Chains A and B, each alone.
Chain A
């Protein structure tokens, strides 16, 4: 079965760090375009980051310099390292994949909640 399972969310104080994981099954992460998006409580979707199949990362301006996207090919897992967390980073974080960009992001994880609060 093709699926994504996120983990690593939780409650963290402002300025802290957290690493989210997105474990894939049924397809190869390194051959796909993998993205992170987030959704603050009661708000719309916000794109966060993408890593291309070639390994090139891109980020939203709101997280540039604080978040790092990466993947572990041996574990077939995507990561999002989040540093210098702010209250406004509080959201459900989703990972998703596109087999190639023209096909859109067809597989999404269930999401993991990150709460940044003192």
Chain B
């Protein structure tokens, strides 16, 4: 099973600042099957990024994804108030089991 480790656990930033979230895999992950989700309290996850770097429909361009192999990054260029949430990476390659990272909480400083 591929273990995804996200860092940091919590990121304390102010609106307008840049957020950089990391997701490191225990084995090589196909970039085609690495996604990022945003989750607000009491709500279902929302797909932000798929294929490591492609934005999902309706996702603002301040969200960007990058990386390959075992290291992936989600960047939020300028934080808006609605961006303070928990973010998860997920690998869903051709051979389950699939896994999620443990999450990074982006909170208002």
Contacts and interface: CB of A to CB of B under 8 A. Distances in A.
B35 interface: yes
Interface stretch (A23-31, A73-81, A97-105): A97-105
A103 B50 contact: yes
Contacts of B88: 44-45
B72 to A, nearest CB: 13
Contacts of A101: 32-33, 92, 94
B46 interface: yes
Q: Which of A98, A102, A104, A111 has its CB near the most chain B CB atoms (within 10 A)?
A: A104
Given A94-B45, A108-B45, A109-B44, A44 B51 contact: no
Contact of B103 (A45, A50, A102, A104): A45
Given A108-B45, A109-B44, A50 B33 contact: no
B100 A47 contact: yes
Interface residues of A, number: 24
Given A44-B103, A46-B100, A47-B90, A104 B56 contact: yes
B102 interface: yes
Contacts of B49: 104
A47 B37 CA distance: 13
Contact of A108 (B1, B44, B57, B92): B44
Interface of B: 1, 32-33, 35, 37, 39, 44-47, 49-51, 56-57, 86, 88, 90, 92, 94, 96-103
